[in-house]
Amino acid sequence: MPEQPMLHYLWIVPLLPLLGAAVNGLFGAKWPNKYVTATAITSTGLSFLCALEAVREFFLSGQALFRKEFFTWIAAGNFRAGFDLQMDQLTVVMVLVVTGVGWLIHIYSIGYMAHEGGYYRFFSYLNLFMFFMLILVLAANYALLFVGWEGVGLSSYLLIGFWFLKKSAADAGKKAFIVNRIGDFGFMLGMFLLFRTFGSLDFAQIFAKADLWPKEAMGHLGTLTIACLLLFMGATGKSAQLPLYVWLPDAMEGPTPVSALIHAATMVTAGVYVVARSHVLFTHSPTAMLVVAIVGCATAFFAATIGLVQTDIKKVLAYSTVSQLGYMFLACGVGAFSAGIFHLMTHAFFKALLFLAAGSVIHALGGEQEMPKMGGLGKKIRWTYATMLIATLAIAGIPPFAGFFSKDAILFASFQSKAGGRVLYAVGLLAAVLTAFYMFRLIFLTFNGKPRYDEKKVHVHESPWSMLGPLVVLAILSLVGGWFALPAFYGGPDYFANFLGPVFGARETVEAGAEAAAHQLELILSGVAVVAALIGLAVAYWLYIKNPRKADDVAKSMKPAYTTLLNKYYVDELYAAAVVRPLVWLSTNVFWKAADVAGIDGTVNGIAHGASAIGDGVRHSQSGNTRSYAVWVVAGAIIVLAVIFFWPSASKIAVGLVR
Amino acid sequence: MLSGGHLLSVLIFFPVVGALALMMLRGDDHKFIRSIAMLVSVAEFLFSLMLLRGVPIGSSGYQLEEFAKWIPAPPIHYHLGVDGISMFLVLLTTFLTPISVWASWNSIQKRVKEFFVMLLLLEVGVVGVFFALDMFLFFLFWELMLIPMAFLIGIWGHERRVYAAVKFVLYTMAGSILMLVGIIWLYNATGTFDLPTIQQMLANGQLVLEPRTEMLLFLAFFVAFAIKVPVFPLHTWLPDAHVEAPTAGSVMLAGVLLKLGAYGMIRFCLPLFPEASHRAARWVAVLAIIGIIYGALVSMVQPNLKKLVAYSSVSHLGFVVLGIFAFHHISMQGAVFQMLAHGISTGALFLLVGMLYDRRHTFEISEFGGLSTPVPKLAAFFLFVALSSLGLPMLNGFVGEFLILLGTYQRHWGWAAWAALGVILSACYLLWSYQRVFFGDVTLEKNRALPDASLRENWILATMAVVILWMGIGSPFITRRTAAATQTVMDQAEPQWAYEATARANAKPHAKTVSLHAAPTIRVERLAVR
Amino acid sequence: MFPQAIDLHRVLPELIWCAFGVLVMFLQPFVRSRQFFTFLALLGSLAGTVAAASAFVHGGPGFAGLVQSDSFTFFFRLLVGSVSFLVVLAAGPYLDREKLPIAEFYALLFFATAGMGVLASAQELLTGFIGLEMSSISSYVLAGYRRDSLKSSESAMKYFLLGSFATAFFLYGIALVYGATGTTLLDKMALTDDTSTLLKLGLALILIGLGFKVAAAPFQVWTPDVYEGAPTPVTALFSAGPKAAAFALLLRIFATVPAATKYWFWAFWVLAALTMFAGNLGALVQTNMKRLLAYSSIAHAGYILVAFAAVTSMAQGGSEEAAPAYAAVLFYLLSYALVKLGAFTVVSQLGGAGEKNLSIDDYAGLSQRQPFVAAMLSIYLLSLLGLPVTAGFFGKFYIFKAAVNSHLISLAVLMAINSVIGAYYYLRVIVVMYMREPSAEAAAGSVPFPIGVNAVLLITFVGTILFGLYPNPVINFILRPTLLAH
Amino acid sequence: MTTPLLVFFILAGLAVIGAVSLILQKHPIHSALSLIVVMVALAGLYLLMGAEFVAAVQIIVYGGAIMVLFVFVIMLLNAGVEERTSLSKMAGPPGLLLVTALAAFVAATIAKSGATVQAAAQTGALSSTKGISEMVFKDFVYPFELTSFLILVAILGATVLAQREKS
Amino acid sequence: MVPTNYYVILSAILFGLGVFAFIFKRNVITIFMSIELMLNAVNLAFVAFSQALGKLDGQVFVLFVIVVAAAEAAVGLGIIILIARNRQTLNVERVDLLKL
């Protein structure tokens, strides 16, 4: 028994959910729900505890990077992909978020899915997802990380398509997987390039070697830049950034807990995690950094604008997720990795909370998702209302809620960054205003004003405690979650940044140097941020509480813009028209029908027909008339004589034939 | 020369014995016949497991060689041997044979005896091809295996079976006869059919092929193999053959026969004609990549489920060919692994398609839809296999593709980039077809009552699933054993190595440089003068 | 000088065959029993074959070089002897079924065999000519043996007219050669100067005459008609015997006469190419089994001619490196004779009374009705197709080898293409037998296969497989440098 | 113009005319007669060359036996004037072309190569029937015996083919 | 003395005429006659050569050829009778049951 037993058996952490998944998947069909529940909850809960234990040991060991190779999974030539797990500060954050939030959501699901068919399927998928997600965050090399990466994609495919009888659900699942695959295409190439460059895919080796490389000048496409961009392509796919964000809104077809866990809290943040994890590479390539920042910033704003007008409560949350992820990338892009991860964590709390609360609302209304058909629920489902409000305040960035600190840190960092910092800051700020607006719009439309649903039919009821419990816990987290990173000027040392220091080392110390000068500025900026949030709040209040008519008038007054937003800038339609349909048409008519059947196969059969046609000719020379035969003999005689006598001249031709 | 028992001969001829035994049986007791066939094929598989002991890890060169004089003039020998690559391909064969016997347990009802006889004879031919070290012997088995396959397609196939069978045979023959010319020609240059000997001669520069000749010879061999694989423009026999063949036939065809082509490339094209291979590599790669993308796209839009799988094979084997002609150790190993993986996954896919056919007697996707409600088990297995085939990590499909792309990237990143598109497309066509077949509401009422997987089917599919998973996680078990062999091939295929040989040859006076065309010109002059 | 005993010994097989022919004719009025004649015929052909062995043991030139009894002769005597043996076996039931006189048939068969023997052993053109005529004239008669059948008589007429037409060419060739060299003895001819145009012309005409006999395109036109019309056992004989004998004489001529090797090469090249294509393409569209096999035999003559081209392209016929090419020809003739005999026997038996069922469609579903027969026929067809573990495979292989050896790559490639074309129609028959359901009336009864016929099938089958797995004895024998003594 | 040459040309002309008329005649019997003319002319030529034995055989066997056989058959089958069908396309113009080409070629080649034969010494008439008989019974006894079997075959064949059906 | 060449050329001409006749006559008997004509041409050549070479074997060959011709005649005419009996015609062009 080694000291740090848990770390040395780290594989148990991911394995437990896998076991749960396997057991439920194989036997769940026959079991009553409670067995299934037990299996799922215990497996994930245990893995949460194990994770905690592992973290404890990690801290005891003085936060030294722990890395262990368990077995080799692919080996060819000098390439080795091992089942290697590692534990460092970044991992700690991710593991705790994943297992913790994951566990809560499992508990929530008990109530939420109670009356759904395929209960066992749901939990076995969910556990499978946990397994892959843990692999992803614990992996110590890109290959294994890719396993988790693809695996979570798979489980999201399964969970989005959970209600596979609905075509829309099945479509959404497929779309999610394929769009992710497009990202993975880049990710794989990135891995290949890294292997080609560093002869390995282990984080440790790559980063060690990469550190010695010179920084690549801005705008210069060096190896590292290309590698980073390729990896980032993967990240855009997984984390729903421009231009590959299209799958996430559709993913709301899945059950709400899934949206909460996968499409808000954990999986979609994998892209951010990868970028943060590969920060050594990124920091060596300003170009890549800038790209990340711009994409992130643009997505943050773009998604927010769409979020303004959506009416489906989950769609709004989905776009806000996209936009928040944009913030995280913005953070990484400007080098504030710890801030990015910090926002990742807080976002995990409040976005999960938002989704679960929304789920609770939907649950209360018996499956209704359209906000225009809600309203005035505040009094009826207080707990839900309260928790959701907290979450909203957090995401809007109102102090002292979690969102405020993380978002503030990001904006501050972007403001400071050399390359186009001001622009990024401005856009980010604008996005913050929009965020505040559409979130409060959601709140007001849902909980305030008059009920717009048929009160006779729909009997609104508060959700069971199995669902409210997680809400409360998450609400607390979204309140206090930010205080880890109490910025210095509030007198509190930035625990979080310092904690992640060893990982993102270099960058942070630089910040520390600028600290003194920065305090003043930071104070102002945070003020500005709060103001921005309040503006958004105010506008929402004015439009949806004070004079509800106004909103529609505004919408009418700017019809084209409104419809454009409502239809999400027609991006899906664009893709369909520009990529999907042409490809299918091409494959059907050109490649298959024309090239394959008519062209190649036609040629083959054509040769056959030609041969038999000639054969028919030969056959008809067989006229059955002896005289003709005699003439043939004579002809043959002449041929033979000609060949034998006039050879020298004929030979030239014949040799030509021979050659 | 003769080292270590007669395991290889046993492996080749044991099924013959089985087939003869079956012929002796009365034709009407189907159950008994099936059991015997099963017994034989399983026993064969168990025998073949002994190979694992016979081929120690890291052993380069051929193991368990058997050598016996056969025909004095021209010197043709009964020369067998096995190395890491062929060993696993044989294991694949001997594994898939019982599976297909099992799979055709109930689906074959007419002329049962002949069916299993043919299946066993097919196994004989294939195993023989993998073991043969004498080129003549190789060709012999190569041709032998045609007939049983043709019969399997032609007698127990579907509507257009005859067309498909004849097409299959003619296509393959067209290639293989040219290969025969090539083999004979090589014999004239070297005076032997013995592969190791020829490799020796090349190694120590006794034999140096003049470039043009080498290229022609390379083509003679390559075309034959390319048809079998099949490489892009020569693939049109495949859809017909697959769609018309009975399930077992498709499994063997996709699982094993297609591999013969790739195996031939590894075993003959590269080592014997290194420089030509290198010169041709660019074009071959282009064809392979076209095959990958084109195959995927075409399969995406197939209305016929079995054809869809068939075209997907074109795409997957494009990867294999690419991996071979990328001339990188990793990609080579990837190619070998991909062969095995494809054998299993696509075999499993065909099994599933066959099971659907047994229930509905159609392959038209439009005839299915929403099947996961009536047949959840089949749906689950299908999804699993589809995922392995689209290369999900931790399943077998991924390892091969990943290694191929990784290795290819090290040499020509462009090729890898293009080929990687196939990874996206494979997801498209598999998931799309999966959705159309299994998701949504049941579209046709008569599908509502379909029975789910029977016990037998469950076991078959479970077996396949286990292998898929094992190959995905425990791939080093295979790669460690193939490493040495692939390394040898790579060394033999190294061009600078060939250049050295040339240098040595020029030093040696007795080195014969052979040319197709010098001689006839001389003769023609002589005729003209006389 | 008068002939010595040894001279007679060296032509013993022919003498025996002729003697048996006479004997049969003599006994014909007295003996009624058909079995007796069949037995006699079997005995005779065997006796001749055995005599061939002893003639070989006491080998050497006979009659002052008119004939030559060497391993080459031995091989062909063996071949024709066993061919006639098998034909007798197959013909017995046939003649009974068709109610045809039996003794005359055997007598003619004997004389034909003797003629072939002479042809194979002749080392002098006129002797060769006599042998040719003996075999041809009896063949004419045999072709028309079913007197009341229109087709049979027609085939006899065509064969006779065209045959004698070609013979005239051959004869004229002999005359010119004689004029140019002053001799008809091949080995003497070898010594004279070979520059004269007269010799060239003579050899050309001889080639034409023999080309007709071996059915090389475009002399092949007679083959399909004659083969179709003739009684099937006779067709079997034609496709195996006379052809082989004619090839033997051709081979002997230019193995011995350098001039021939010099002048004939490109002629063979062209003839080979033409013949292969004519045969295979023609066969593609046939629906009558007999005609199909006839065309295929044309195609195979083409393959053999490829080997001839290879032989001639060797510096000197009969020299060391040409030996494999000779071997190729001989082995191919052997394997081909076996298979053709078997195939035609099957066809003749399945043809039924009056040879009604000759169309391929009549073979539909044969594999269910008569699996054994179907299997045999498939083996023969696969051997014709040149698939491994059949003699045909090695035959083809050796020819390919000879061609490539002598750098006739293009010819080899043509041959490859042709074997693919050929594969198509052979497969077609197999497909019909195995993969098509029988027509109503065909499904009804299975044709009885008497013991004699089955014996033929078995012998040919065993031979085909045996030489397909282990051709060593034959190869070793025909590869001997002393193949042709001169 | 020596006498032999004159005789030669007369006989040669006769032979050619006979052959041509064989072709031109409509009725087989006339063709037969013209063939007999050719044979007689050839016999004359043999005499001119001093091969009187061959000449004799020519008259007796050919003219006597074979042609009589022909005439007999013609009468037996009372063959009428031959109908000039031309169903064969090959035997039309192309046939004509090919045949003339062949004949012309052969003749021309022989004419060209005349020198070679001429070179051989003209030993004048060697006319020993004795010599012939010796050759036949010594050097060529084997083919000679074979011819006897050949005749046998002919007889047998003729009977087999021509005998009436025994019903 | 008459040059041998003349004889040979004459034989060639006769041979050619024989071929010509073979192809352009329709009556089986006449066609057969044309074969005889060709054989005669051959004989002429043989005799001429034997006389030119001063060897007798040429003339021996002639005897053989004549015998063969006789044999052929016997069989041939037998066949012709057969045809005439079966088909009631002597025109080769009418005898074309076997074709294609």
pLDDT digit string (tens) for D92-101? Answer: 888 899 999 9
The token pair that represents B509 in the structure block: 């006076």
C100, D160 contact by CB (below 8 A): no
Instruction: Report yes or no: D76 at the C interface, CB cutoff 8 Å.
Output: no
The whole-angstrom separation of Cα C233 and Cα C143 is: 10
CB contact under 8 A, B71 and C471: yes
D113 has pLDDT over 80 = no
What is the DSSP annotation of C317-344? TTSGGGHHHHHHHHHHHHHHHHHHHHHH
Measured between beta carbons, which residues in chain D are less than 8 angstroms from residue E6?
8, 12
CB contact under 8 A, C162 and A626: yes
| Residue A658 distance to chain C (closest CA, Å) | 6
Nearest to A638 among D91, D102, D109 (CB): D102
| Residue E2 distance to chain C (closest CA, Å) | 16
Instruction: Report yes or no: D76 at the E interface, CB cutoff 8 Å.
Output: yes
pLDDT digit string (tens) for A136-162? Answer: 999 999 999 999 999 998 988 888 888
The alpha carbon dihedral of A643, A644, A649, A651 has a sign of: positive
Instruction: Report yes or no: C397 at the B interface, CB cutoff 8 Å.
Output: yes
For chain E, list the domains and their CATH numbers.
4-88 (1.10.287.3510)
User: What Cα–Cα distance (Å) separates residue B406 from each residue in A189, A433, A558, B411, B417?
Assistant: 8, 46, 52, 9, 10
User: What Cα–Cα distance (Å) separates residue B259 from each residue in B52, B89, B254, B472, C79?
Assistant: 20, 8, 8, 19, 44
Cβ partners under 8 Å of residue B187, min gap 6 = B74, B135, B193, C401
Measured between beta carbons, which residues in chain E are less than 8 angstroms from residue D86?
93
| Residue C187 distance to chain B (closest CA, Å) | 21
The token pair that represents B355 in the structure block: 């099971």
CB contact under 8 A, C282 and A618: yes
CB contact under 8 A, A624 and E23: no
| Residue A612 distance to chain C (closest CA, Å) | 6
Reduced to 3 states, what is the DSSP secondary structure of residue B393? Answer: coil
The token pair that represents A96 in the structure block: 């705790």
Q: pLDDT tier at A2 (50, 70, 90 boundaries)? A: low
Please name the residue of chain C whose CA is at the shortest distance from the CA of residue A640.
C267
pLDDT digit string (tens) for A190-204? Answer: 999 999 888 888 988
Nearest to C405 among B73, B147, B188 (CB): B188
pLDDT value, residue D87: 80
Enumerate residues 143 to 162 of chain D having a beta carbon within 8 A of any beta carbon in chain E: 143-144, 147, 150-151, 153-155, 157-162
A484 has pLDDT over 90 = no
Q: What is the CA radius of gyration of chain E?
A: 17
pLDDT value, residue C441: 65
Chains that touch B (3 or more CB pairs under 8 A): A, C
Interface predicted TM-score (ipTM) over 0.85: yes
CB contact under 8 A, E10 and D16: yes
pLDDT digit string (tens) for A220-266? Answer: 778 888 999 999 999 998 888 888 888 888 888 888 888 888 888 88
Cβ partners under 8 Å of residue A418, min gap 6 = none
Indicate the helix (H) or strand (E) that contains B513.
Answer: strand B512-514
A305 has pLDDT over 80 = yes
D120 has pLDDT over 80 = no
With both helix axes pointing from N to C terminus, report the angle between A142-160 and A167-198 in degrees, rounded to the nearest 10.
180
Instruction: Report yes or no: C187 at the D interface, CB cutoff 8 Å.
Output: no
What are φ and ψ of residue B81, in 5° steps?
-170, 165
Instruction: Report yes or no: D135 at the E interface, CB cutoff 8 Å.
Output: yes
Mean pLDDT of A53-82: 86
Measured between beta carbons, which residues in chain C are less than 8 angstroms from residue A615?
280-285
User: If you ran DSSP here, which 8-state letter would residue B68 be given?
Assistant: E
| Residue D110 distance to chain C (closest CA, Å) | 6
Cβ partners under 8 Å of residue E11, min gap 6 = C175, E41, E42, E44, E45, E48
pLDDT value, residue C181: 87
B-C Cβ pairs (cutoff 8 Å, strict): 95
Measured between beta carbons, which residues in chain C are less than 8 angstroms from residue E52?
179
How far from each other are the two terminal CA atoms of chain C, in whole angstroms?
Answer: 21
* Pairing verdict, β A66-76 and B63-71: unpaired
Instruction: Report yes or no: C126 at the E interface, CB cutoff 8 Å.
Output: yes
Cβ partners under 8 Å of residue C67, min gap 6 = C10, C11, C61, C73, C118, C121, C122, C123, C124, C127, D142
Q: Which residue has the higher pLDDT, A346 or C319?
A: A346
Q: What percent of chain E has pLDDT over 70?
A: 100
In a 13 Å sphere around the CA of C439, the CA atoms on its Cβ side amount to 10
The burial class, CB within 10 Å (0-12 / 13-18 / 19+), for B303 is middle
B44, B94 contact by CB (below 8 A): yes
Residue B526 carries which side chain, given as an amino acid letter? R
The whole-angstrom separation of Cα A257 and Cα A127 is: 13
pLDDT value, residue C315: 47
pLDDT value, residue B111: 85
Instruction: Report yes or no: C283 at the A interface, CB cutoff 8 Å.
Output: yes
Task: Give the mean pLDDT per block of 10 residues along chain B (530 residues).
Answer: 69 90 83 90 91 83 86 85 91 93 86 89 93 92 90 88 90 89 88 88 82 89 92 89 91 91 92 89 92 91 91 93 91 92 93 91 87 88 92 90 92 90 89 88 84 89 93 90 88 65 54 41 30
D127 has pLDDT over 70 = no
User: What Cα–Cα distance (Å) separates residue B85 from each residue in B4, B55, D140?
Assistant: 19, 10, 70
Residue at token pair 């070479």: E53
Reduced to 3 states, what is the DSSP secondary structure of residue C128? Answer: helix
The token pair that represents B228 in the structure block: 């079998």
SS3 content of chain D, % helix, strand, coil (to 5): 75, 0, 25
Residue C406 carries which side chain, given as an amino acid letter? S
Residue B274 carries which side chain, given as an amino acid letter? P
* Pairing verdict, β B512-514 and C67-69: unpaired
pLDDT value, residue C206: 93
pLDDT value, residue C481: 67
Measured between beta carbons, which residues in chain A are less than 8 angstroms from residue E95?
626
CB contact under 8 A, D22 and E90: no
Q: How many CB atoms lie within 10 A of CB A137?
A: 29
How far from each other are the two terminal CA atoms of chain B, in whole angstroms?
Answer: 50
Nearest to C416 among B74, B146, B178 (CB): B178
Reduced to 3 states, what is the DSSP secondary structure of residue C217? Answer: coil
pLDDT value, residue C277: 92
Nearest to C212 among A633, A647, A650 (CB): A633
Residue D144 carries which side chain, given as an amino acid letter? F
User: What Cα–Cα distance (Å) separates residue C145 from each residue in C137, E29, E75?
Assistant: 12, 20, 12
A55, A93 contact by CB (below 8 A): no
Measured between beta carbons, which residues in chain D are less than 8 angstroms from residue A638?
98, 101-102, 105
Instruction: Report yes or no: D109 at the C interface, CB cutoff 8 Å.
Output: yes
Q: Which residues in chain C come in under a pLDDT of 50?
A: 315-318
In a 13 Å sphere around the CA of A34, the CA atoms on its Cβ side amount to 0
Give this prediction's pTM: 0.88
